[in-house]
Amino acid sequence: MNENELMKTFGKRVAVVRKSKGVTQQQLAESISMSVVAIAYIETGKRWARLGTLNKIASSLKVDIADLFKDI
């Protein structure tokens, strides 16, 4: 898997977890003080999330950070 595929796969996983929790991109963005555009970029594989951001996303969604990498 190349880097672009990895980014897209990871982003899809974030979106799946977010949706499974019933959280919108807007709600997630507000809860971690990011823009909706930044969340959308992460979920579509156009942008990597830094470790601190990954931690905030996982915490906001009440999952372990490892859950964001499941099946990757």
Indicate the fold that domain 3-61 takes in CATH. 434 Repressor (Amino-terminal Domain) (1.10.260)
CA distances from 52 to 5, 20, 69 (A): 22, 22, 15
Tens digits of residue pLDDT in 10-67 = 999 999 999 999 999 999 999 999 999 999 999 999 999 999 999 999 999 999 999 9
How far apart are alpha carbons 5 and 55 in whole angstroms?
Answer: 22
Q: Spell out the domain ranges in the chain.
A: 3-61
Q: What is the pTM of this model?
A: 0.92
